Structure 1
Amino acid sequence: MAAAAAALCGERVTVVRPVLEQLTSAHLLTHQGGDRYRLHDLLRLYAAERAAAETGRAVRAAARERLGSWYLHHADAAARLLTPHRRRIPLPPPGPWYEPPSFGTAAEAQRWCEGEHTHVLGVVRAAAGDGPDDLAWRLPVVLWSYYFTSPHLDDREEAARLAVAAAGRAGDRYGEGHARDDLATALGALGRHDETLAELRLARALFASIGDRDGEADVIGHLGDHCLSTGAYGQARLYFQGALALLRAQPEERRDDWAIRVCETNIGVTAMLVGRGREAEEYLHRALDRHRSTVDPVLEGITLYHLGDHHRRLDHPEQAAERLRQALAVIDGTTGNPLLRAAVLAALAELGEGRRS
């Protein structure tokens, strides 16, 4: 991308784009449309050789750090659109050359993440190998808002493992807590439950050691998710209630409302799974109303899916299909969450609604 090339140089895009056009005219670059350019593999190798021969290590390291910073702040901008109410980790400020991204909707942010995810992983690998460690753990953590809906589970696991190692090398318990929590959710998505539990216990201990109650509550909630996935519904409920109590105990001005709404939704799901229909409906409807009032389509779509499942379990096929169609409309109108969309379509197909969706 032209903007990434500008970050490497520490210049504005308007300065770098004419140079890219000259290289394209000389057939040294291929313009792939928009702001995207491609360098032939052999030319890339030659350019790397010349850079190593003609520039010093410090110059190359500074360029890599600028590129990493560009990706970090673009990923954060995407996350603010994908999960606008979720708590953020602090980031170092970008350089004066940095220009904010052009995407302005959640769907555009999702497309940017999908188009760049292999490059982002390359940046994380490079930072994990040559530094800075701070970038190697922050970038995967910032990308949680994309990764938790992404089908690229192996990439998600690799990025999280690199983040854990980098934060550990730096002695950053806050960063390692987030990285291990993210690694646990990646392992859970891959069905590796024993490893998931081990990472969650380590993450919880790290957050507790630094008195980070929000981080600890997140991990307790993810312990609840782990129990849900393994069928331990009673224990899951206890974890979700514990996380909710910890979050509500925080001072009102810094209370994490997004995490509270996630816990309330999950308590509703747990009630549904153990057959407490009235309680499930109460929690899920209250959560749905709150997601809508805060304009949170990601959680709205998830909750509509669970309400559809709730009605299906009660043998109310018409209400179930209606909620599932609403979930599909929300998903298609925002990020297109591929994992959730597949689950909704499968549920509609079970109800004989496949052709109508």
Structure 2
Amino acid sequence: MIVSESWERAKTGLARFFGRRGSDAQAEAELGSAQRELDRARAAGDTHAQELVRERLRQRLEEIFRADPAAAGELAQLLSALAPDSSRTFVSMVSGGVNHGPAFQGSHIHGGITFNVQQTPAPAAGGPVRPDQVPLVTVPFSNRRAELAALDETLGAPAGGARAVAVDVLDGLPGVGKTAMAWQWAARVRELFPDGQLYVDFAALRDQVTPLTGPGGDVSEALAMCLRSLPGGDLGMPDSLAERTNLFRSRTAGLRLLLVLDDVNQPGQVRALIPKGPGSAVLATSQNRLRELAVHEGARLISVGPLDEHGGLELLKDRCGAAAVEAEPEAARRLVELCGGLPVALQVVAARLVTDDGLTMAELAAELGDEAGRLAALALDGEESEVSAVLGPTYRLLPPGPARLYRLLGWLPFGVFDAGVAAVAAGIDTGGAKRHLRVLVRASLVEPMSDGRYRMHDLVRLHARERAAEEEPATEQAALAERVGGHYLVLTAFADRALRKERLRIAPLADLLREAADPFAAPGGPPPLEWLDTERPAVLAVLRTAVRHELYTLAWRLAEAFTVLFLYRRYLGAWQESLELGIEAAAAAVARARTPGELAEAMAGEARLRSLLSRPLLDLGERERAGEELAQAVARAEASGHLVLRASVQEFLGRYLDIVDPPAAVEAYRRSLELNERAGETRGAALATFFLGRALDARGDHREAMALLRRALGELENREEPDRRMAGRVRAALGVVHGHLGETEEAIRELREAVDELGAASKGMQYEAQALEQLAGVARRAGGRTELVRECLSRAADIHEALGDRDRARELRERLADDAGE
């Protein structure tokens, strides 16, 4: 609640507002009592008590809004006189961002995006942005003084002087507080690492590891994440784990960094991410004792055990107040014992004590003692679960709405989510989900994150999943998978269209999207590429779940829309997996089709996804497999009768044949051009013309290639939205053809223009380097242009270095050195 120096001036108006269903005197007494409670809590520094008062007033406002939708406008006018800049935000906050009036109609299609998607920062004028990625500890942190001091000793040496990179690993049980300790230490030593702090959560990355990505898939992805945050970014990101490891060492050689690696379970996850810069440090957390790191990397292993009695009591004092613990010392000690010293369990206990008026520590200890005994009797191994013993009573005290949401969150295939996802999971509006989530946060069953999302601890998720299996209808898990899958399909489709307006799409989603609000089109909406990247683990998990629940049409449509991410970010393993899941689903949809229309759509979807799959397969060196997928794509596309799809598949086939059988590529491109023209697909025709021109030039048909390339250039430049990058590639190809024809000056002119155009185009650097090398080749053959050759090769080498292709950069610099020696 807003409380300021204007309180007395506002009291009369606020009392009248609160008293709309009662007397002004009663309302004024209520507000006065709230003010006194807040003053006492502030004086004592009791943030929990302050939040309780605020929450009680927030709930009163929600009751008013539900009873009278016009009340929001009245409150906004009242607050406007006091705080003009904050009134609208405050009313939206207390009402949950939901329209409670009659205009709110229909059911959820998707829950929107309710967290802050981080825009990838552009490089600052003075240099790259310093990464600061380790999350903040959002609750009071106590104890662990010995462990923090040990970290200071090993990792926190002051800057200055050359020293080895230090590696420490915190290991211990789940829920023992390893992550919170790592985050806390990182916050304490931010200034010791002037080049920044990088953070990798391996628990989230493990969701992406499948037999396709292999055992090193999470390590490769972690390296990519870190490389994107370092100077050079993700331009030219290498595909292999070995290349990414080498590039990471090169880029960190002159930097002093801290890497926090959360929840690792293999030594290799740490080994690959040890930076090269002197004074840097790595702090990892693990449930395992990674002795191999101590032997080979000199890592120090620090075991983090449960809190002892003193530590547990200190945690309770931090959460409940020292007076409460001192008033019932024996009961407080019993609570620590019943929780097994696990901070995750003690936090739930503290939340019960703070939020349950009148509940004493002795009463809670007796309740948990009964629960622990019951669970111990049921346990197969005779051991009780401290966390389950604590969660059971807390769960049973939840109101019905939050309890149901808690159960359903356990069925989500991922542990980090926003309020929109929670709303869709429960089939309720977003405002209701936010209210239920506040209850779960107060009970310490979910944890709010700094970006507005929520995290559910793995142990808590398991308990929620158990409760869902026991209490929800047998059909509810599949229904939830369909609701959440539909949510991600809509948002991914909107992001796809925001990034690429002109792209072949098979899935007929127009009607679905027409009924939904596009968050990316709204003023100040989230950046679509960053949203896709942030939600990548969730989308992959949703795809797997959809296939498992036989939601085949939803799955292949989502896989098709999701592929736009991989046109910008080279996650080859994830791209391959998502497409293979989509192909499996589309093939199953073909088998299940009941009408000719359903059959044609599913068959076209399968053809589209198989042709797209050839891209990551070729990049991964799997040429034979790529050819097999394209053969099946051609057959499915022909059977579907979809002209534009058939043209697109022929283009993909041509690009494959460019590598394995160049003469045959010409016919594939001719077929693609013919089909695009028949379908009236002008951009597709321009691209097919470009690829055909290059193939003819490679075959020696230079004059025909020249004519086709000029035609493609005109079509790309004269579109309503000119494609500058593709136009630059076409112009470079024209320069190459001029060179083959001996037209040196024309070749140099076209290639110079191509270099300028590609240098200015988004994601045109790799093509700019190619054009520079082609220009250097023409100039060398012409003779007398030594400076132009040197300038082009030097710039190309710099670009290849920035893109991570150090081998090519070295070759070009060796060529420059040889030229200088002649």
- Give the TM-score normalised by the residue count of structure 1: 0.82
Structure 2 gaps, min length 5: 1-417, 592-601, 774-791, 803-822
For the Cα contact (< 8 Å) 2:734–2:750, is it kept in 1? no
2:658 maps to 1:228? yes
For the Cα contact (< 8 Å) 1:204–1:219, is it kept in 2? yes
2:544 maps to 1:120? no
Aligned positions of 1:181-200 closer than 5 A: 181-200=611-630
What are the Cα deviations for residues 11-48 of structure 1, in whole angstroms up to 9, with x where unaligned?
33333233334434544333334443222222222222
2:741 maps to 1:324? no
How many percent identity over aligned positions?
26
Output the amino acid matched with 2:432: V
| SS at structure 1 position matched to 2:449 | strand
Tell me the distance in 2 between the aligned counterparts of 1:341 and 1:106: 28
Tell me the distance in 1 between the aligned counterparts of 2:694 and 2:428: 50
Post-superposition offset of 1:102 = 3.0
Tell me the distance in 2 between the aligned counterparts of 1:166 and 1:244: 30
Tell me the distance in 2 between the aligned counterparts of 1:94 and 1:58: 24
Tell me the distance in 2 between the aligned counterparts of 1:108 and 1:214: 29
Q: Which residue of 2 aligns with 1:264?
A: 689
Output the amino acid matched with 1:187: L
Deviates more, 1:115-124 or 1:30-39: 30-39
Distance 1:45-1:249 versus aligned 2 partners, 3 A rule: same
Distance 1:23-1:292 versus aligned 2 partners, 3 A rule: farther
For the Cα contact (< 8 Å) 1:68–1:123, is it kept in 2? yes
> Which has the larger Rg?
2
Q: Which residue of 2 aligns with 1:334?
A: none
Deviates more, 1:101-110 or 1:59-68: 101-110
Aligned positions of 1:96-135 closer than 5 A: 98-102=516-520, 108-135=527-554
| SS at structure 1 position matched to 2:468 | helix
Tell me the distance in 2 between the aligned counterparts of 1:269 and 1:96: 41
Tell me the distance in 2 between the aligned counterparts of 1:273 and 1:142: 34
What are the Cα deviations for residues 291-346 of structure 1, in whole angstroms up to 9, with x where unaligned?
3443557x532442453465478476675465334324321xxxxx5xx6445457
For the Cα contact (< 8 Å) 1:328–1:344, is it kept in 2? yes
Tell me the distance in 2 between the aligned counterparts of 1:211 and 1:127: 28
Tell me the distance in 1 between the aligned counterparts of 2:618 and 2:501: 24
What are the Cα deviations for residues 246-270 of structure 1, in whole angstroms up to 9, with x where unaligned?
22123xxxx2233222212222332
Output the amino acid matched with 2:615: T
Output the amino acid matched with 2:758: A
Q: Which residue of 1 aligns with 2:728?
A: 304
Post-superposition offset of 1:280 = 4.8
Deviates more, 1:92-101 or 1:320-329: 92-101
What are the Cα deviations for residues 58-79 of structure 1, in whole angstroms up to 9, with x where unaligned?
2221221111111111121122
Deviates more, 1:311-320 or 1:13-22: 311-320
Post-superposition offset of 1:159 = 1.4
Deviates more, 1:240-249 or 1:265-274: 265-274
Aligned positions of 1:59-98 closer than 5 A: 59-89=476-506, 90-91=508-509, 93-94=511-512, 98=516
Aligned counterpart for 1:180 among listed residues 610, 632, 638: 610
Distance 1:244-1:85 versus aligned 2 partners, 3 A rule: same
Output the amino acid matched with 1:256: E
- Matched pairs, number: 344
Q: Which residue of 2 aligns with 1:242?
A: 671
Distance 1:4-1:294 versus aligned 2 partners, 3 A rule: farther
Post-superposition offset of 1:276 = 5.4
For the Cα contact (< 8 Å) 1:133–1:169, is it kept in 2? yes
For the Cα contact (< 8 Å) 1:141–1:179, is it kept in 2? yes
For the Cα contact (< 8 Å) 1:317–1:351, is it kept in 2? no
| SS at structure 2 position matched to 1:102 | coil
Aligned positions of 1:49-68 closer than 5 A: 49-68=466-485
Distance 1:229-1:307 versus aligned 2 partners, 3 A rule: farther
Post-superposition offset of 1:94 = 4.4
For the Cα contact (< 8 Å) 1:173–1:207, is it kept in 2? yes
Distance 1:59-1:322 versus aligned 2 partners, 3 A rule: same
Aligned counterpart for 1:140 among listed residues 559, 584, 594: 559
Output the amino acid matched with 2:670: Q
| SS at structure 1 position matched to 2:761 | helix
Distance 1:97-1:82 versus aligned 2 partners, 3 A rule: closer
Tell me the distance in 1 between the aligned counterparts of 2:583 and 2:633: 10
Tell me the distance in 1 between the aligned counterparts of 2:462 and 2:502: 43
For the Cα contact (< 8 Å) 1:264–1:284, is it kept in 2? yes
Deviates more, 1:273-282 or 1:47-56: 273-282
Distance 1:145-1:265 versus aligned 2 partners, 3 A rule: farther
For the Cα contact (< 8 Å) 2:540–2:578, is it kept in 1? yes
Post-superposition offset of 1:161 = 1.4
| SS at structure 2 position matched to 1:294 | coil
Structure 1 gaps, min length 5: 332-336
| SS at structure 2 position matched to 1:352 | helix
For the Cα contact (< 8 Å) 2:713–2:731, is it kept in 1? no
Distance 1:243-1:9 versus aligned 2 partners, 3 A rule: same
For the Cα contact (< 8 Å) 1:86–1:258, is it kept in 2? no
Tell me the distance in 2 between the aligned counterparts of 1:277 and 1:106: 48
Post-superposition offset of 1:224 = 0.5
Q: Which residue of 1 aligns with 2:462?
A: 45
For the Cα contact (< 8 Å) 1:244–1:263, is it kept in 2? yes
Tell me the distance in 2 between the aligned counterparts of 1:87 and 1:289: 22
For the Cα contact (< 8 Å) 2:735–2:750, is it kept in 1? yes
Output the amino acid matched with 1:245: E
Q: Which residue of 1 aligns with 2:793?
A: 351
- Give the TM-score normalised by the residue count of structure 2: 0.38
2:569 maps to 1:150? yes
Post-superposition offset of 1:92 = 8.0
State the superposition RMSD in angstroms.
Answer: 3.3
Output the amino acid matched with 1:79: D
Post-superposition offset of 1:152 = 0.7
